[in-house]
Structure 1
Amino acid sequence: MSKGNRGRDRAAAQRIVEQQKAAERRRQVTIWTSVGVVAVLLIAGLIGWGVLANQEKKTEASRVSTPSVAVDDGTAFAVGSGPVTVDIYEDFMCPVCNQFEQQTGPAIAQMVTDKKVTVRYHPVSILDRVSNGTQYSTRAAGAVAAAAVDGKFLEYHNVLFENQPAEGTEGLSNDKLIELGRGVGLGDSFATAVSDGTYKPWATKVTETFASRGHNGTPTIVVNGKVVEGPGNTLPTTEVFTQAVTAAAG
């Protein structure tokens, strides 16, 4: 092979090498450009998701109608004006809650009359799952909120327990809830609130607050910030409850 041919071969080989290097540089640029685009899209997606989630939270919050008479950050209804604060978290489908009302309710009523306690009732809805899809606990809690707004909380609270449905049933219909309300003197504004489910989102919010405070079962009875229970996490007797109130009063 002549020197001229060898020179041309080397030049051709050099061009091929340079072309390969240029192609590799273009490939790397394309890869990093693609990575950058994906990263930008990912960040944009996360920002969009965050904005949407925040908007959904604001929308849901705007749907919550907090009863005007509710206390304790809008989660309860107060009865009495005594120095000892008693918080009772209850579900209107909870049979043990009803047991506590029947067992200790009269003693609590007397303490209210004697101005020893302020009772804050928190209607929660942890037993919707046992009402065959009707959300009875939520509907009942919403109904008692409507009754409270119209000045009949305790009367309606008591009649709900007197007519408590069994777990595993559909619970009381809205028509029945309205009928019970009329029986204690509630009128059209109450009936409309029950039919429209005005306070159902509020009942959900109260239940979320209940959980955020570390509670998980009903009834939960709290006296001046201290949970009161019987032996082995059982329902406290009237005697145990009364002792807790007396101790809290000093």
Structure 2
Amino acid sequence: MTARPHRPTRPARVPAGASTAGDGVAMGSGPVIVDVYIDFLCPFCKAFEEAAGPALARLVAGGAVSLVYHPMGFLDELSTDRYSSRASASSGCASDRGRFVEYAHALFADQPPEGGPGLTDDELVEVGRLAEITDPGFGGCVREGVYLDWAAHVTETAIERGVSATPTVLVQNVPVPANAQAILTAVLAVARSRR
């Protein structure tokens, strides 16, 4: 008798703006799908977002891509308080308020070092203020861990798809180097192939 492969369980709730599969936050409606797997504790993800984030934003604004961020709890073991999962969950709260990208940028700007405690829940709420989240319900969402099961779902689904490091970028399900030029080249190649 063969064991069936593990299927991630769908969380009870997904954030506003979630991808169709519920395992990320989607923006834009372009024809080429770009999936970006990140962890808010990952210094390489911070560097990637600083370098490639503006180019990704231009591709979304120009209608070229549908961009899906998958905020993983991949590096939970590199903090003393499951910071990756808590930060991922709080980004879901930000997505509910239409401020996912701004909040993600603020989280990376205030990124704690690996190996110690991450930001506290109160500090995660404060980062929301830096991202101009004014809804008073945001704090409760973060402190109650409303999206912790969603963060687990994002992580499990990514691992099941073979994601083993962050940042990982896929263009139409094909891995590409995590830099703006490689992503743009891949997006243009897909667009040309469809003409």
Q: Normalised by the size of structure 2, how large is the TM-score?
A: 0.88
For 1:215 and 1:72, locate their aligned partners in 2 and report how far apart those are by CA, in whole Å.
Answer: 19
Of 110, 128, 139, which residue of structure 2 is paired with 1:163? 110
Q: Please say if 1:149 is aligned against 2:96.
A: yes
Contact 2:10 2:153 in 1 (8 A): no
Note the alpha carbon deviations across 1:168-188, whole angstroms, 9 max, x for none.
121111111101112312322
Contact 1:90 1:123 in 2 (8 A): yes
- Runs of 5+ unmatched residues, structure 1: 1-60, 230-235
For 1:200 and 1:186, locate their aligned partners in 2 and report how far apart those are by CA, in whole Å.
Answer: 22
The amino acid of 2:187's aligned partner reads V
Note the alpha carbon deviations across 1:97-144, whole angstroms, 9 max, x for none.
111111111111111221111100111111010112x11000000000
Query: Percent identity over the alignment?
Result: 40
Paired residue for 1:212?
160
The amino acid of 2:127's aligned partner reads L
Q: Please say if 1:221 is aligned against 2:161.
A: no
Shift, 1:62, TM fit: 8.6
Paired residue for 1:138?
85
Contact 2:17 2:27 in 1 (8 A): no
For 2:12 and 2:83, locate their aligned partners in 1 and report how far apart those are by CA, in whole Å.
Answer: 18
Paired residue for 2:144?
196
Aligned residues: 184
For 1:145 and 1:223, locate their aligned partners in 2 and report how far apart those are by CA, in whole Å.
Answer: 23
Paired residue for 1:83?
31
Q: Normalised by the size of structure 1, how large is the TM-score?
A: 0.70
For 1:146 and 1:213, locate their aligned partners in 2 and report how far apart those are by CA, in whole Å.
Answer: 25
Q: Please say if 1:97 is aligned against 2:45.
A: yes
Contact 2:11 2:149 in 1 (8 A): yes
Paired residue for 2:179?
237
Structure 1 pair 63/72, CA: closer, same or farther in 2 (3 Å)? closer
Structure 2 counterpart SS, 1:215? coil
For 1:67 and 1:241, locate their aligned partners in 2 and report how far apart those are by CA, in whole Å.
Answer: 26
Structure with bigger RCO (C-alpha 8 Å, 6+ apart): 2
Paired residue for 1:17?
none
Paired residue for 1:48?
none
Tell me the C-alpha RMSD between the 2 structures: 1.7
Note the alpha carbon deviations across 1:16-67, whole angstroms, 9 max, x for none.
xxxxxxxxxxxxxxxxxxxxxxxxxxxxxxxxxxxxxxxxxxxxx6973222
Shift, 1:155, TM fit: 1.2
Structure 1 pair 63/101, CA: closer, same or farther in 2 (3 Å)? closer
Structure 1 counterpart SS, 2:37? strand
Structure 1 pair 82/162, CA: closer, same or farther in 2 (3 Å)? same
Q: Please say if 1:107 is aligned against 2:49.
A: no
Structure 1 pair 238/63, CA: closer, same or farther in 2 (3 Å)? closer
Structure 2 counterpart SS, 1:178? helix
Contact 1:84 1:117 in 2 (8 A): yes
For 1:186 and 1:92, locate their aligned partners in 2 and report how far apart those are by CA, in whole Å.
Answer: 22
